[in-house]
Structure formats: C-alpha cells, structure tokens
Amino acid sequence: MKRRHLLALAACAALAPATAFGQANWPTQPIRMIVPFAPGGASDFAARLMQPKLSEMLGQQVVIENRAGGAGNVGLDAAARAAPDGYTVLLGNVGTVSINPSLFENLRVKPEKDFIAVSIVADTPGILIGSPKFPPNNAKEFVDYVGKNPGKVNFASPGTGSLNRLEMELFRANAGLDMNHIPYKGGAGPAVADVLGGHVETMFVTISSAINHIKGGKLKGLGVSTKARVPGLPDVATMNEQGFPDNVSSSWQGILVPAGTPRPIVDKLHKAIVETMKDETIRSRMEQAGVIPVSSTTPEEFSAYIAEDSAKWARVIKLTGAKPD
C-alpha cells in the first residue's frame, strides 16, 4: 500500500511540470471558435474579421465553426461541453449569454458557471427606427403620438425573446405605450425591410442594420441606445438624453472559454484579443458597419459586465413575461 501511494505521488509530481509546460506553450494546435449562429450574421461578421489577426497573435490558426440553432443554444451547449484546454472558444453575445438563461427555463448551460469570460470584442448599439411615413421624428414625439393613438401602431421584431423585442417592451412598459407586436422569422432583416416599406411603423434594431438607410433618408432614426451619441449618426439623440435612461443597451459580442480552462491560457488569450482589437483595419471595418470595437481591461471586468447585463435582462423578461417563440 505504501509503495502504491508513493508511485501515485510520483506520477502526480511528474504530471504537474508537464501540465505547466503545456500551459506555458499554449497553443500548439489550431483553435476552434464556435459561433452559435449561421454564416453572414453579426456574430459571424465579427468572428471572420478578427480571425486573421487573432491567428497571427496566437501563432496558430483560429478555425471558425458555425453551430446555429435554438436561438444560439446549440452552439452555447457545444462550447460548454468542450474540453477546458484552450482549444475551444465561444464567441458569445447578449442573446446567448445574457438573455437566453432567463428566457429558456430548461436551458442546460449556465453561462456564469460553465464559462470563463475573457474579453468583449464588439459593441453594437441599438436604435429606435421609424418608417418615412411614421409622423414622429424622435423618441419624445414617439411617446406622444402612440399615446394619442393607442393600439394603432405596430412594431416589428425578429422574435419574442430577441433583444430587439425586449428593448421595445422595456420602452413600452416605462412609457405606458399600447402597441401591437408583429413577429418576424429569419432575423432582423425581414422586419427592417417591412419598416422600410412602411408596412410596419417602427422597431428597435442594431445600428449596423439601419445606418445606411437612415443616412439615405429611407428610415428615421428616433433614438440610439448608447450613453453618448454615435459618431456615424451625430444628429440622432440618445434615448437617455430624451428621458429614457433604461433604454441604454447594446448587442455585444465577446470571447468566453469553458470553465476550468487554466488561468495562464485565459491570460494569454486575453492579451491576444486586446492586441487584435487594436488593429486599425479591424477597427475601421467595424466602425464602418456601425459596430464599436472594444476589449476588456481584464477577464474579471468582462465577467462583471455580463453579470450586470444578465441581471438587467432577467428583470425585463420577468416584467414583460417574454417567452421563447
């Protein structure tokens, strides 16, 4: 028994240096980045924009794997179940990480327990838009108009539990607005198209989906959901400065790794992400698309951001009674 115990201790002692060596030399093989949505969307855009520079910074190829389905839950689950060795990372977003845990009652993944937050990478502000035929020109006029026309204004969204829908429900609840929800399938694109055509009066949407239409006079920008005005739309006032401070939100994206990933790997990945997000080409292309390139000072900062964001949307879901489609 004593000899067996000594052999076990010797094995552990031999393994510890090998494990430390592996962490110090990470990565030694390609890294899989799971994007929980289909190619062509906002998350895929951010991932493919980052991919070359992040691969360069890490010295290994970052391979993007689109795992769409279940409002992002399929990819979320795949990433959470991956080995915590630094060779699988998740490009999570506000929907998969902050909203879905409160929206889906039987969701197996608990992001705060199953992942380590590494860094935010993109912040896409939202904006309240109106069709050219819609009389209001800002959020204050919006509230006044809907108040005088209860039950007559329709708003679009790409689904009950989407950020777009929850932003409008929060606005409605705070301002006491009686409106009709028109749900769309297939993302925000079809909904925006109907606002453009005047078939639906209004909706919340990411600025990247509407900025060119607003600049071209095909849509009205009624209020952006950032704390400060967006450089690309300097004439559009924020929801905050118009008296609606609760409507400060964004469709963020960030990198997370499975819980249990060694801290040296987390730190090395964080450093690579920060340097990647300093790249002028990446920053320029993101900004042109209405996306704000950002990074977290520390993994803990990103973790705290997620906790605050998740608590906010949990309150909104409870307030509105939102359910998954």
Structural contact between residues 183 and 155, judged by C-beta atoms closer than 8 angstroms: no
Res. 136: pLDDT tops 80? yes
pLDDT at residue 10, as a whole number: 56
Tens of pLDDT, residue by residue over 233-269, are 999 999 999 999 988 888 899 999 999 999 999 999 9
Domains observed in the chain: 30-124+250-320 (3.40.190.150), 126-224 (3.40.190.10)
pLDDT at residue 22, as a whole number: 60
Comparing CA positions, the residue from 314, 321, 318, 316 lying closest to residue 100 is 314
Mean pLDDT of 78-86: 98
Structural contact between residues 250 and 125, judged by C-beta atoms closer than 8 angstroms: yes
% of the chain with per-residue pLDDT over 90:
67
Q: pTM of the prediction? A: 0.82
pLDDT at residue 125, as a whole number: 85
Mean pLDDT of 219-227: 93
Which stretch, 99-113, 256-270, 275-289, has highest mean pLDDT? 256-270
Res. 73: pLDDT tops 70? yes
Query: In whole angstroms, how far apart are CA 278 and each of 226, 270, 293?
Result: 22, 13, 8
Question: What is the pairing mode between strands 220-224 and 154-157?
Answer: unpaired
Query: In whole angstroms, how far apart are CA 229 and each of 94, 225, 235, 240?
Result: 21, 9, 8, 10
For residues 69 and 71, give the distance between their C-alpha atoms in angstroms, rounded to a whole number: 6
Tens of pLDDT, residue by residue over 13-50, are 554 554 555 677 999 999 999 999 888 778 898 999 99
3-state class (DSSP) for residue 180: strand
Question: Of 33-42, 121-130, 194-203, where does mean pLDDT reach its minimum?
Answer: 33-42
Contacts of 90 (CB under 8 A, 6+ apart): 33, 34, 36, 75, 76, 79, 80, 115, 255, 256, 257
